[in-house]
Amino acid sequence: MRRAFLFPGQGAQTVGMGKDIYEKYEEAKKVYDEATRISGIDVKKICFEGPEEELNKTENTQIAMLTTSLAILEVLKAQGVEADIATGLSLGEYGALICSGIISFEDGIKLIQKRGYYMGNMLPKEEYSMAAVIGLESSKIEEICNKLQEEGKFVVPANYNCSVQTAISGENEAIDEAIELLKQAGAKRAIKLKTSGPFHTIKLQQAKEAYEKELENIEFNLLPENEQKVKVIKNLDGTYYKKGDNIKEILAKHIISPVRFDKAIELMKKEQVDEYIEIGPGKVLTGFIKKDNKEAKTYNISSVETLESAKRDGLFWHN
Question: If 0-12 CB within 10 Å is exposed, 13-18 middle and 19+ buried, where does residue 232 land?
Answer: buried
Point out the catalytic residue in the list 69, 129, 200, 302.
200
Query: Is 318 one of the catalytic residues?
Result: no
Question: For the chain, what is the largest distance between any 2 Cα atoms, rounded to a whole number of angstroms?
Answer: 57
Q: Is 254 a catalytic residue?
A: no
Q: Which of 90, 129, 138, 257 is catalytic?
A: 90
| C-beta separation of 21 from 75 below 8 A | yes
The region that residue 193 occupies, defined by phi over 0 for left and psi between -120 and 50 for alpha, beta otherwise, is beta
Please tell me the total number of residues recorded for the chain in this structure.
319
Give the side-chain half-sphere CA count within 13 A for 153. 18
What residues are labeled active site?
90, 200
